[in-house]
Amino acid sequence: MAGIKNTSLDRVLGRLDSLDPTNLTNLVQRLARERSQFENVFNTLQEGVLVIDADGVIDYANASAHRLIGQADDDLTDQVLWRLVPGLRSSLEATLADPAPAPPVVTREIELTYPELRTVRLYMVPFSSEGDGPERRFAVILTDITRDKKTTEARIEDERTSSILLLAAGVAHELGNPLNSLTIHLQLIERRLKKLKSAARDQETASLAESIRICQDEVLRLDGIVTHFLEAIRPRQPDLAETKLGEVIEEVVRFQERELADRSIRVEASIARDLPVIMADRNQLKQVFFNLIKNAMEAMQPGGVLRLKTYADDESVYLLCGDTGSGIKQADLVKLFQPYHTTKQGGNGLGLMIVQRIMREHGGQVGVESNPGVGTVVTLQFPLKNRRVRLLQ
Protein backbone atom coordinates (compact mmCIF):
# COMPACT_ATOMS: atom_id res chain seq x y z
CA MET A 1 0.00 0.00 0.00
CA ALA A 2 3.04 2.26 0.20
CA GLY A 3 2.99 5.23 -2.16
CA ILE A 4 -0.83 5.54 -2.38
CA LYS A 5 -1.69 9.13 -1.39
CA ASN A 6 -4.83 10.85 -0.09
CA THR A 7 -6.79 7.70 0.72
CA SER A 8 -9.52 7.90 3.30
CA LEU A 9 -7.27 5.95 5.67
CA ASP A 10 -4.44 8.45 5.14
CA ARG A 11 -6.80 11.29 5.98
CA VAL A 12 -7.99 9.53 9.13
CA LEU A 13 -4.43 8.79 10.23
CA GLY A 14 -3.51 12.42 9.56
CA ARG A 15 -5.87 13.56 12.31
CA LEU A 16 -5.34 10.61 14.64
CA ASP A 17 -4.76 12.85 17.64
CA SER A 18 -8.21 14.41 17.28
CA LEU A 19 -10.16 11.12 17.18
CA ASP A 20 -12.51 10.35 20.05
CA PRO A 21 -12.44 6.89 21.68
CA THR A 22 -15.32 5.59 19.56
CA ASN A 23 -13.73 6.58 16.24
CA LEU A 24 -10.35 5.34 17.46
CA THR A 25 -11.89 1.95 18.27
CA ASN A 26 -13.52 1.82 14.82
CA LEU A 27 -10.16 2.66 13.21
CA VAL A 28 -8.36 -0.14 15.08
CA GLN A 29 -11.04 -2.62 14.10
CA ARG A 30 -10.83 -1.50 10.47
CA LEU A 31 -7.05 -1.89 10.48
CA ALA A 32 -7.39 -5.37 12.04
CA ARG A 33 -9.89 -6.40 9.35
CA GLU A 34 -7.65 -5.17 6.56
CA ARG A 35 -4.63 -6.93 8.07
CA SER A 36 -6.63 -10.15 8.42
CA GLN A 37 -7.79 -9.83 4.81
CA PHE A 38 -4.25 -9.41 3.51
CA GLU A 39 -3.06 -12.30 5.71
CA ASN A 40 -5.75 -14.55 4.22
CA VAL A 41 -4.78 -13.54 0.67
CA PHE A 42 -1.08 -14.24 1.24
CA ASN A 43 -1.80 -17.52 3.03
CA THR A 44 -3.78 -18.84 0.06
CA LEU A 45 -0.74 -18.47 -2.23
CA GLN A 46 1.19 -21.61 -3.15
CA GLU A 47 4.38 -19.54 -3.22
CA GLY A 48 6.21 -18.77 -0.02
CA VAL A 49 6.41 -15.04 0.78
CA LEU A 50 9.00 -13.63 3.19
CA VAL A 51 10.02 -10.13 4.17
CA ILE A 52 13.57 -9.88 5.53
CA ASP A 53 16.07 -7.16 6.38
CA ALA A 54 19.68 -7.01 5.21
CA ASP A 55 20.74 -9.28 8.08
CA GLY A 56 18.22 -11.95 7.08
CA VAL A 57 15.90 -11.32 10.01
CA ILE A 58 12.36 -12.31 9.02
CA ASP A 59 9.67 -9.65 9.50
CA TYR A 60 6.88 -11.63 7.83
CA ALA A 61 6.28 -15.15 6.48
CA ASN A 62 3.12 -16.60 4.97
CA ALA A 63 1.87 -20.17 5.47
CA SER A 64 3.59 -21.56 2.33
CA ALA A 65 6.94 -20.12 3.45
CA HIS A 66 6.57 -21.96 6.77
CA ARG A 67 5.82 -25.19 4.89
CA LEU A 68 8.67 -24.87 2.37
CA ILE A 69 11.26 -24.07 5.02
CA GLY A 70 9.99 -26.87 7.23
CA GLN A 71 8.81 -24.73 10.14
CA ALA A 72 5.07 -25.21 9.78
CA ASP A 73 4.35 -25.11 13.51
CA ASP A 74 6.86 -22.43 14.49
CA ASP A 75 6.63 -18.68 14.10
CA LEU A 76 9.33 -17.50 11.70
CA THR A 77 9.09 -13.87 12.77
CA ASP A 78 12.42 -12.55 14.10
CA GLN A 79 14.25 -15.72 13.09
CA VAL A 80 17.30 -15.45 10.82
CA LEU A 81 16.74 -16.91 7.34
CA TRP A 82 20.43 -17.82 6.96
CA ARG A 83 20.19 -20.18 9.94
CA LEU A 84 17.14 -21.90 8.51
CA VAL A 85 18.65 -22.22 5.01
CA PRO A 86 22.43 -22.56 5.50
CA GLY A 87 24.58 -21.44 2.58
CA LEU A 88 21.99 -19.01 1.21
CA ARG A 89 23.59 -15.86 2.61
CA SER A 90 26.87 -16.26 0.69
CA SER A 91 24.90 -16.52 -2.55
CA LEU A 92 22.97 -13.31 -1.85
CA GLU A 93 25.66 -11.32 -0.01
CA ALA A 94 26.56 -9.04 -2.93
CA THR A 95 22.95 -7.99 -3.43
CA LEU A 96 22.31 -7.48 0.28
CA ALA A 97 25.31 -5.16 0.55
CA ASP A 98 24.71 -3.30 -2.73
CA PRO A 99 24.38 0.43 -1.85
CA ALA A 100 22.73 1.33 -5.15
CA PRO A 101 19.26 2.95 -4.89
CA ALA A 102 17.80 0.07 -6.90
CA PRO A 103 19.85 -3.12 -6.45
CA PRO A 104 19.20 -5.87 -8.99
CA VAL A 105 16.47 -8.43 -8.55
CA VAL A 106 17.96 -11.83 -7.69
CA THR A 107 16.82 -15.30 -8.72
CA ARG A 108 18.34 -18.54 -7.50
CA GLU A 109 17.52 -22.23 -7.57
CA ILE A 110 18.24 -23.80 -4.20
CA GLU A 111 17.93 -27.32 -2.84
CA LEU A 112 16.20 -27.78 0.49
CA THR A 113 16.70 -31.07 2.31
CA TYR A 114 14.28 -30.54 5.21
CA PRO A 115 11.55 -31.64 5.76
CA GLU A 116 12.05 -33.41 2.41
CA LEU A 117 14.33 -33.04 -0.59
CA ARG A 118 12.96 -30.39 -2.95
CA THR A 119 14.14 -27.78 -5.42
CA VAL A 120 12.96 -24.21 -4.81
CA ARG A 121 13.29 -21.13 -7.00
CA LEU A 122 14.05 -18.03 -4.96
CA TYR A 123 13.12 -14.56 -6.23
CA MET A 124 14.33 -11.63 -4.11
CA VAL A 125 13.58 -7.96 -4.71
CA PRO A 126 14.48 -4.96 -2.50
CA PHE A 127 11.85 -2.46 -1.43
CA SER A 128 11.39 0.34 1.07
CA SER A 129 8.33 1.78 2.78
CA GLU A 130 7.67 5.25 4.02
CA GLY A 131 8.66 5.62 7.63
CA ASP A 132 11.18 2.79 7.51
CA GLY A 133 14.12 5.18 7.31
CA PRO A 134 17.27 4.20 5.41
CA GLU A 135 16.96 0.50 6.30
CA ARG A 136 16.32 -1.61 3.24
CA ARG A 137 14.12 -4.67 3.28
CA PHE A 138 13.67 -7.47 0.79
CA ALA A 139 10.68 -9.45 -0.42
CA VAL A 140 11.61 -13.09 -0.97
CA ILE A 141 9.33 -15.31 -3.07
CA LEU A 142 9.85 -19.09 -2.86
CA THR A 143 8.37 -21.39 -5.54
CA ASP A 144 8.54 -25.18 -5.30
CA ILE A 145 9.72 -26.38 -8.74
CA THR A 146 10.64 -29.95 -7.73
CA ARG A 147 8.01 -31.62 -9.91
CA ASP A 148 8.65 -29.35 -12.91
CA LYS A 149 12.40 -29.93 -12.65
CA LYS A 150 12.01 -33.70 -12.45
CA THR A 151 9.60 -33.68 -15.38
CA THR A 152 12.00 -31.58 -17.47
CA GLU A 153 14.98 -33.76 -16.57
CA ALA A 154 13.04 -36.92 -17.39
CA ARG A 155 11.95 -35.47 -20.76
CA ILE A 156 15.52 -34.46 -21.65
CA GLU A 157 16.78 -37.90 -20.63
CA ASP A 158 14.06 -39.63 -22.64
CA GLU A 159 14.86 -37.54 -25.73
CA ARG A 160 18.58 -38.21 -25.39
CA THR A 161 18.00 -41.91 -24.80
CA SER A 162 15.62 -42.13 -27.77
CA SER A 163 18.22 -40.53 -30.04
CA ILE A 164 20.94 -42.92 -28.90
CA LEU A 165 18.66 -45.94 -29.19
CA LEU A 166 17.61 -44.89 -32.68
CA LEU A 167 21.26 -44.64 -33.71
CA ALA A 168 22.10 -47.97 -32.08
CA ALA A 169 19.12 -49.65 -33.76
CA GLY A 170 20.25 -48.27 -37.13
CA VAL A 171 23.77 -49.61 -36.66
CA ALA A 172 22.49 -53.01 -35.53
CA HIS A 173 20.11 -53.14 -38.50
CA GLU A 174 22.95 -52.32 -40.91
CA LEU A 175 25.02 -55.16 -39.44
CA GLY A 176 22.31 -57.54 -40.55
CA ASN A 177 23.02 -56.95 -44.25
CA PRO A 178 26.68 -58.10 -44.30
CA LEU A 179 25.78 -61.02 -42.03
CA ASN A 180 23.14 -62.15 -44.51
CA SER A 181 25.66 -61.79 -47.33
CA LEU A 182 28.23 -63.84 -45.41
CA THR A 183 25.65 -66.56 -44.79
CA ILE A 184 24.77 -66.80 -48.49
CA HIS A 185 28.41 -66.92 -49.66
CA LEU A 186 29.36 -69.51 -47.03
CA GLN A 187 26.50 -71.68 -48.30
CA LEU A 188 27.77 -71.31 -51.90
CA ILE A 189 31.31 -72.24 -50.87
CA GLU A 190 29.98 -75.25 -48.97
CA ARG A 191 28.07 -76.48 -52.05
CA ARG A 192 31.08 -76.09 -54.32
CA LEU A 193 33.28 -77.86 -51.82
CA LYS A 194 30.96 -80.86 -51.79
CA LYS A 195 31.45 -81.21 -55.58
CA LEU A 196 35.17 -81.79 -55.16
CA LYS A 197 35.51 -85.57 -55.56
CA SER A 198 39.28 -85.92 -55.73
CA ALA A 199 40.42 -88.48 -53.15
CA ALA A 200 43.79 -86.80 -52.98
CA ARG A 201 42.14 -83.72 -51.57
CA ASP A 202 39.87 -85.42 -49.01
CA GLN A 203 41.91 -84.21 -46.01
CA GLU A 204 42.07 -80.63 -47.30
CA THR A 205 38.37 -80.72 -48.15
CA ALA A 206 37.48 -81.90 -44.65
CA SER A 207 39.59 -79.11 -43.13
CA LEU A 208 37.91 -76.47 -45.28
CA ALA A 209 34.47 -77.89 -44.47
CA GLU A 210 35.24 -77.59 -40.74
CA SER A 211 36.36 -73.96 -41.20
CA ILE A 212 33.17 -73.17 -43.10
CA ARG A 213 31.08 -74.75 -40.32
CA ILE A 214 32.85 -72.65 -37.70
CA CYS A 215 32.25 -69.49 -39.76
CA GLN A 216 28.59 -70.37 -40.16
CA ASP A 217 28.23 -70.92 -36.41
CA GLU A 218 29.88 -67.56 -35.69
CA VAL A 219 27.68 -65.76 -38.20
CA LEU A 220 24.63 -67.39 -36.62
CA ARG A 221 25.82 -66.30 -33.16
CA LEU A 222 26.37 -62.71 -34.34
CA ASP A 223 22.96 -62.68 -35.99
CA GLY A 224 21.44 -63.81 -32.68
CA ILE A 225 23.27 -61.04 -30.82
CA VAL A 226 21.98 -58.41 -33.26
CA THR A 227 18.44 -59.80 -33.06
CA HIS A 228 18.38 -59.80 -29.26
CA PHE A 229 20.00 -56.36 -29.18
CA LEU A 230 17.28 -54.92 -31.41
CA GLU A 231 14.58 -56.58 -29.32
CA ALA A 232 16.15 -55.11 -26.19
CA ILE A 233 16.46 -51.50 -27.26
CA ARG A 234 13.39 -50.98 -29.41
CA PRO A 235 10.98 -48.87 -27.34
CA ARG A 236 7.86 -51.04 -27.08
CA GLN A 237 4.81 -50.53 -24.91
CA PRO A 238 4.45 -53.38 -22.42
CA ASP A 239 1.66 -55.89 -22.95
CA LEU A 240 0.30 -55.69 -19.42
CA ALA A 241 -1.34 -58.68 -17.80
CA GLU A 242 -1.79 -60.00 -14.27
CA THR A 243 1.62 -61.38 -13.33
CA LYS A 244 3.04 -63.19 -10.32
CA LEU A 245 6.44 -61.65 -9.78
CA GLY A 246 7.83 -64.63 -7.86
CA GLU A 247 7.09 -67.07 -10.70
CA VAL A 248 8.97 -64.93 -13.24
CA ILE A 249 12.00 -64.58 -10.94
CA GLU A 250 12.17 -68.33 -10.30
CA GLU A 251 11.89 -69.04 -14.04
CA VAL A 252 14.79 -66.72 -14.84
CA VAL A 253 16.96 -68.16 -12.05
CA ARG A 254 16.29 -71.72 -13.31
CA PHE A 255 17.32 -70.67 -16.80
CA GLN A 256 20.58 -69.15 -15.51
CA GLU A 257 21.20 -71.95 -12.99
CA ARG A 258 23.90 -73.61 -15.11
CA GLU A 259 25.88 -70.41 -15.61
CA LEU A 260 25.61 -69.55 -11.90
CA ALA A 261 26.92 -73.01 -11.01
CA ASP A 262 29.78 -72.71 -13.51
CA ARG A 263 30.83 -69.48 -11.80
CA SER A 264 30.50 -71.11 -8.33
CA ILE A 265 27.93 -68.48 -7.30
CA ARG A 266 25.45 -69.47 -4.60
CA VAL A 267 21.86 -68.19 -4.78
CA GLU A 268 20.02 -67.27 -1.58
CA ALA A 269 16.39 -66.56 -2.48
CA SER A 270 13.58 -65.44 -0.21
CA ILE A 271 10.60 -65.28 -2.55
CA ALA A 272 7.30 -64.65 -0.76
CA ARG A 273 4.52 -66.97 -1.91
CA ASP A 274 1.69 -64.59 -1.09
CA LEU A 275 2.84 -61.59 -3.13
CA PRO A 276 0.00 -59.58 -4.68
CA VAL A 277 -0.22 -59.75 -8.47
CA ILE A 278 1.08 -56.85 -10.53
CA MET A 279 0.27 -55.65 -14.05
CA ALA A 280 3.33 -56.43 -16.14
CA ASP A 281 4.70 -57.71 -19.44
CA ARG A 282 6.15 -61.11 -18.56
CA ASN A 283 8.78 -61.09 -21.33
CA GLN A 284 9.97 -57.60 -20.46
CA LEU A 285 10.24 -58.59 -16.78
CA LYS A 286 12.42 -61.53 -17.80
CA GLN A 287 14.64 -59.11 -19.68
CA VAL A 288 14.96 -56.93 -16.58
CA PHE A 289 15.84 -59.90 -14.32
CA PHE A 290 18.31 -61.36 -16.86
CA ASN A 291 20.15 -58.03 -16.97
CA LEU A 292 20.28 -57.66 -13.19
CA ILE A 293 21.46 -61.24 -12.53
CA LYS A 294 24.01 -61.04 -15.34
CA ASN A 295 25.42 -57.80 -13.90
CA ALA A 296 25.56 -59.37 -10.44
CA MET A 297 27.36 -62.47 -11.74
CA GLU A 298 29.94 -60.44 -13.63
CA ALA A 299 30.62 -58.31 -10.52
CA MET A 300 31.47 -61.34 -8.33
CA GLN A 301 34.39 -63.71 -8.03
CA PRO A 302 33.85 -67.48 -7.70
CA GLY A 303 32.25 -68.21 -4.35
CA GLY A 304 30.07 -65.09 -4.42
CA VAL A 305 26.48 -64.96 -3.22
CA LEU A 306 23.47 -63.70 -5.18
CA ARG A 307 20.64 -62.69 -2.83
CA LEU A 308 17.06 -62.28 -4.03
CA LYS A 309 14.26 -61.09 -1.78
CA THR A 310 10.66 -60.01 -2.40
CA TYR A 311 8.11 -58.29 -0.19
CA ALA A 312 5.08 -56.01 -0.48
CA ASP A 313 3.41 -53.14 1.33
CA ASP A 314 0.10 -51.32 0.78
CA GLU A 315 1.38 -49.54 -2.34
CA SER A 316 4.02 -51.67 -4.07
CA VAL A 317 5.75 -55.00 -4.61
CA TYR A 318 9.54 -55.01 -4.20
CA LEU A 319 12.40 -57.15 -5.48
CA LEU A 320 15.86 -56.76 -3.95
CA CYS A 321 18.76 -58.20 -5.98
CA GLY A 322 22.04 -58.11 -4.05
CA ASP A 323 25.54 -59.35 -4.80
CA THR A 324 28.80 -59.70 -2.89
CA GLY A 325 30.83 -58.19 -5.72
CA SER A 326 33.32 -55.38 -6.06
CA GLY A 327 30.70 -52.64 -5.61
CA ILE A 328 30.39 -49.38 -7.51
CA LYS A 329 32.31 -46.18 -6.85
CA GLN A 330 30.27 -43.09 -5.97
CA ALA A 331 31.50 -41.29 -9.10
CA ASP A 332 30.21 -44.15 -11.28
CA LEU A 333 26.99 -44.59 -9.30
CA VAL A 334 25.57 -41.25 -10.45
CA LYS A 335 26.18 -42.20 -14.11
CA LEU A 336 24.83 -45.70 -13.79
CA PHE A 337 21.77 -45.26 -16.02
CA GLN A 338 23.50 -43.21 -18.72
CA PRO A 339 23.71 -44.99 -22.09
CA TYR A 340 27.15 -46.36 -23.03
CA HIS A 341 28.58 -45.64 -19.58
CA THR A 342 30.16 -48.86 -18.33
CA THR A 343 32.95 -49.91 -15.98
CA LYS A 344 33.12 -53.45 -17.41
CA GLN A 345 35.60 -54.43 -20.08
CA GLY A 346 33.63 -55.27 -23.20
CA GLY A 347 30.38 -53.87 -21.75
CA ASN A 348 28.04 -51.66 -23.75
CA GLY A 349 26.45 -49.68 -20.90
CA LEU A 350 22.91 -50.36 -22.15
CA GLY A 351 21.78 -52.99 -19.65
CA LEU A 352 20.73 -50.81 -16.72
CA MET A 353 19.42 -48.11 -19.04
CA ILE A 354 17.08 -50.70 -20.59
CA VAL A 355 16.09 -51.89 -17.09
CA GLN A 356 15.21 -48.32 -16.11
CA ARG A 357 13.17 -47.77 -19.29
CA ILE A 358 11.16 -50.96 -18.80
CA MET A 359 10.54 -50.15 -15.14
CA ARG A 360 9.30 -46.65 -16.04
CA GLU A 361 6.91 -48.08 -18.61
CA HIS A 362 5.57 -50.36 -15.87
CA GLY A 363 5.07 -47.39 -13.55
CA GLY A 364 7.88 -48.66 -11.32
CA GLN A 365 11.19 -47.38 -10.03
CA VAL A 366 14.80 -48.58 -9.75
CA GLY A 367 17.06 -47.88 -6.77
CA VAL A 368 20.75 -48.76 -6.42
CA GLU A 369 22.85 -48.89 -3.26
CA SER A 370 26.49 -49.91 -3.41
CA ASN A 371 29.62 -50.02 -1.27
CA PRO A 372 32.97 -50.59 -3.00
CA GLY A 373 34.44 -53.88 -1.84
CA VAL A 374 31.17 -54.97 -0.19
CA GLY A 375 28.60 -55.32 -2.95
CA THR A 376 25.55 -53.82 -4.60
CA VAL A 377 21.80 -54.01 -3.99
CA VAL A 378 19.34 -53.11 -6.75
CA THR A 379 15.74 -52.51 -5.64
CA LEU A 380 12.87 -52.77 -8.12
CA GLN A 381 9.54 -51.27 -7.04
CA PHE A 382 6.33 -52.23 -8.89
CA PRO A 383 2.94 -50.61 -8.21
CA LEU A 384 0.19 -52.96 -7.04
CA LYS A 385 -2.49 -53.82 -9.57
CA ASN A 386 -5.23 -51.91 -7.72
CA ARG A 387 -2.87 -48.96 -7.09
CA ARG A 388 -2.08 -48.72 -10.79
CA VAL A 389 -5.80 -48.72 -11.63
CA ARG A 390 -6.44 -45.88 -9.18
CA LEU A 391 -3.59 -43.87 -10.67
CA LEU A 392 -4.90 -44.35 -14.21
CA GLN A 393 -8.39 -43.28 -13.19
Instruction: Flag whether pLDDT at 325 surpasses 90.
Output: no
- C-alpha angle 351/355/357, rounded to 5°? 115
Same structural domain for residues 65 and 90? Answer: yes
Last-in-domain residue among 144, 164, 196:
144
Q: Are 373 and 327 in contact (CB under 8 A)?
A: yes
Rounded to whole angstroms, the Cα distance separating 167 from 163 reads 6
What would the mean pLDDT of 78-87 be, rounded to a whole number? 86
What would the mean pLDDT of 337-364 be, rounded to a whole number? 68
Pick 114 or 345 by higher pLDDT: 114
Write down the pLDDT at residue 328: 80
Same structural domain for residues 207 and 279? Answer: no
Exposure string for 53-66, b = 16+ CB within 10 A, e = fewer: beebebeebbbbbb
Instruction: Flag whether pLDDT at 1 surpasses 80.
Output: no
Write down the pLDDT at residue 130: 58
Write down the pLDDT at residue 228: 60
Same structural domain for residues 204 and 254? Answer: no
Same structural domain for residues 57 and 96? Answer: yes
Q: For residue 113, give its domain range.
A: 45-144
Last-in-domain residue among 233, 259, 284:
233
Same structural domain for residues 229 and 128? Answer: no
What is the count of structural domains for the chain? Answer: 4
Last-in-domain residue among 209, 233, 257:
233
Q: From the CB of residue 107, how many other CB atoms can be counted at a distance below 10 Å?
A: 11
- The mean predicted confidence, pLDDT, of the chain is 78
Give 139-173 pLDDT, tens digit per residue.
999 999 888 877 776 777 667 666 766 666 667 66
Same structural domain for residues 248 and 329? Answer: yes
Give 224-262 pLDDT, tens digit per residue.
667 666 665 666 778 889 999 999 999 999 988 888 998
Write down the pLDDT at residue 380: 92
List the one residue out of 217, 133, 118, 226 whose CA is nearest residue 171.
226
CATH of the domain at 63: 3.30.450.20
Rounded to whole angstroms, the Cα distance separating 270 from 246 reads 10
Same structural domain for residues 248 and 378? Answer: yes
Positive or negative torsion for Cα 226, 232, 235, 238: positive
Write down the pLDDT at residue 264: 92
Pick 181 or 79 by higher pLDDT: 79
Same structural domain for residues 50 and 33? Answer: no
Burial of 241 (0-12, 13-18, 19+ CB in 10 A): exposed
Q: Which residues contact 118 (CB under 8 A, 6 or more apart)?
A: 68, 111, 112, 144, 146
Same structural domain for residues 249 and 378? Answer: yes
Q: How confident is the model at residue 4 (pLDDT cuts 50, 70, 90)?
A: very low
Same structural domain for residues 246 and 383? Answer: yes
CATH of the domain at 382: 3.30.565.10
Run of H or E residues at 286: helix 282-299
How many residues in the chain? 393
CATH of the domain at 183: 1.10.287
Write down the pLDDT at residue 392: 42
Same structural domain for residues 250 and 370? Answer: yes
The counts of H helices and E strands in the chain are 13, 12
3-state secondary structure of 205: helix
Burial of 237 (0-12, 13-18, 19+ CB in 10 A): exposed
Give 177-217 pLDDT, tens digit per residue.
777 778 888 888 878 777 765 544 566 677 777 788 888 87
Which residues pair with residue 142 across a beta bridge? 48, 122
Run of H or E residues at 239: none
Rounded to whole angstroms, the Cα distance separating 241 from 210 reads 47
Query: CB-hemisphere CA count at 13 Å for 118?
Result: 18
Pick 30 or 283 by higher pLDDT: 283
Same structural domain for residues 375 and 255? Answer: yes
Exposure string for 192-226, b = 16+ CB within 10 A, e = fewer: eeeeeeeeeeeeebeeeeeeeeebbeebeeebeeb
